Amino acid sequence: MVQAMEHAGTGPMADSLILITLLVELGVAAAVSSSLARSTTFKNLLLLPHRSWRQTLGLVAMIAVPLTLGVWARVLVPNFYAADISYEATILMGLLLGPSAAMVGAAALAIPAELHHEYWTLPVNLTVAAIAGVFGHLLEREEVWSFSPMIDLSLYRWVTRNLRRPQFDRQIVLLVLITTMQFATSMLGRAYPTHLFALHSPHWLVELAICACAPVIVGIPLKIWNAVHIERKLEEQSRLLMEARLDALQRQINPHFLFNTLNSITSLVRSQPELAREMIVKLANILRVLLKNRDAFVPFSEELDFTDDYLDIEVVRFGDKLHVVKEISEDTLPVVVPSMLLQPLIENSIKHGLEPRISGGTVTLRSRILSDGRLLIEVEDDGIGMEVQPIGGATSARGTKRSGSGIGMRNVRERMEVLYGAAAEVEIVSRPGRGTKVTLVMPVLESGAAPWTQLGEALQATWADVSRAVTRS
């Protein structure tokens, strides 16, 4: 590297140039780290708990390549010193990636300087990378992410904390380490001005500013990337919360279904024991499926098969009074839907729509893909209908409901809201004496794909709100 004052002298003008350079370096660090934080690939690699060697090299390249261009700019453009923040970048790679990967990045950053006859650059970069990498292994990952570029606040917190209870603070040690290595590099640059680039000044206040600026430049990318780290953690926590809520709903609906079916069997034990026996066998088939720990999502074809087993039980109960009509589009069969989606709706139609009617009736199942690419499912009956009222409360699902429609209908509505948010619709239309139709509209998830990944797109607006909240905080 080239001495900072080589073209500017050592007087007040040189100190002014140094101070301006330090301010611009802060902007360079913020600009580069913000640009990288917009890359999905970079974020995924950065936040991986364990990386392969190839992934680590990819992350090194994404950090080192743009900053190597900055070293080239400093070498080729007179007085353009602020583009070279290779010292801070080397420390950053050491803290995040370890000594081996940091030394690879440090060597890449030294190439332009070595070609410019700054022969001390490579050994200095490698030494800094090794020290920062080893120290990074001694830090907890959260200690690295929480490293603050606000030196005065860090020192104030350290002093007040140690006044109450003295303790070893690795972050303060890191702050001192970065500052000390910067001072040593500055002194080496003063001793070998043509073989090493390092900002330095004969005035101690300016030299202090140089040394104090180094940890700030290291801390800026960590703060920016920590916002991404927090956002990813919030997404993960939201996903886990959603899964837990769905699991609770799933556990809620199974006992409900079992209770109603056992009540049906109880009513037939004395009057029609053979029918009761047949229903017990079919119930056993259903329970065998439920005990397989069904996934939250299943292909629509599998959900129809499960519904057929349930309908077999209901046909045994009602005999010729119950008719089932299916208008299922073939292209909807591989679409992934929430498990146990149809059974509560069909049960609701039979129990509240057809059972009170002496002559029974018909339950119709329909499915098709809408013009906007979403899946439409309808469950319709020609029963007695029901009193309707607007759905209360703020919800993304819409329609009407009957008071006392039961846990099954509420469960379906809540699961749709949790899974799809505003991307789904639930609508109930009932005409007293003529029947009820329940319509579900939801995004299409293909069988074999990762449902949670695809649902991430449906919930993208929610994540964006979380991200903006994190950024403001």
Weakest-pLDDT range from 13-22, 48-57, 184-193, 212-221 = 13-22
Residue 451 has pLDDT above 70, yes or no: no
Give the range with max mean pLDDT: 286-290, 392-396, 415-419, 429-433. 429-433
Helix crossing, 204-268 with 12-37: angle to 10°? 10
Residue 448 has pLDDT above 70, yes or no: no
The whole-number pLDDT of residue 446 equals 56
Q: Which amino acid belongs to residue 397?
A: A
Q: Is beta strand 375-381 parallel, antiparallel or unpaired with respect to 297-299?
A: unpaired
Instruction: In whole angstroms, give the CA distance from residue 409 to residue 412.
Output: 5
Residue 340 has pLDDT above 90, yes or no: no
The whole-number pLDDT of residue 408 equals 65
Residue 89 has pLDDT above 90, yes or no: yes
CB neighbourhood size of 130 (10 A): 17
The whole-number pLDDT of residue 5 equals 40
The whole-number pLDDT of residue 142 equals 78
Q: Which amino acid belongs to residue 84?
A: D
Weakest-pLDDT range from 84-98, 127-141, 336-350 = 336-350
The whole-number pLDDT of residue 149 equals 63
Model confidence at 392, pLDDT cuts 50, 70, 90, reads very low
Closest CA to 134 of 164, 168, 174: 174
The whole-number pLDDT of residue 99 equals 93
Residue 112 CB contacts under 8 Å (≥ 6 apart), including other chains: 68, 71, 72, 75
Weakest-pLDDT range from 47-51, 57-61, 290-294 = 290-294
Helix-strand-coil percent breakdown of the chain, rounded to 5?
65, 10, 25
239-253: average pLDDT? 58
Instruction: In whole angstroms, give the CA distance from residue 148 to residue 70.
Output: 25
Q: What are the φ/ψ torsions at residue 290 (nearest 5 degrees)?
A: -65, -35
Closest CA to 45 of 56, 37, 33, 53: 56
Model confidence at 101, pLDDT cuts 50, 70, 90, reads very high
The whole-number pLDDT of residue 463 equals 44
Weakest-pLDDT range from 38-42, 152-156, 180-184, 291-295 = 152-156
Q: What pLDDT digit, counting tens, does each position of 409-418 carry?
A: 777 887 788 7
Model confidence at 358, pLDDT cuts 50, 70, 90, reads confident
Are residues 90 and 102 in contact, defined by beta-carbon separation less than 8 angstroms? Answer: yes
Which residue spans of the chain are classified as CATH 3.30.565.10? 269-465
Instruction: In whole angstroms, give the CA distance from residue 245 to residue 240.
Output: 9
CB neighbourhood size of 51 (10 A): 16
Residue 333 CB contacts under 8 Å (≥ 6 apart), including other chains: 299, 300, 301, 304
Residue 162 has pLDDT above 80, yes or no: no
117-129: average pLDDT? 93
The whole-number pLDDT of residue 412 equals 80
Provide the mean pLDDT of the chain. 78
CATH of 269-465, one of 3.40.30.10, 3.30.565.10, 3.30.70.330, 1.10.10.10: 3.30.565.10
Weakest-pLDDT range from 45-49, 175-179, 251-255, 258-262 = 251-255
Q: Is beta strand 361-369 parallel, antiparallel or unpaired with respect to 400-401?
A: unpaired
Weakest-pLDDT range from 40-54, 69-83, 87-101, 403-417 = 403-417
Instruction: Calculate the CA 227 to chain-centre distance.
Output: 12
151 CB-contact burial (10 Å; exposed 0-12 / middle 13-18 / buried 19+): middle
Residue 401 has pLDDT above 70, yes or no: no
CA dihedral 128, 131, 137, 141 (to 10 degrees): -40
CA dihedral 51, 55, 61, 62 (to 10 degrees): -80
The whole-number pLDDT of residue 186 equals 92
216-224: average pLDDT? 91
Q: Which uninterrupted H or E stretch holds 220?
A: helix 204-268
Classify residue 391 by its DSSP letter.
Answer: P
% of the chain residues with pLDDT over 90:
30
Closest CA to 351 of 325, 378, 327, 386: 386
For the chain, helix (H) and strand (E) counts, in that order, are 16, 10
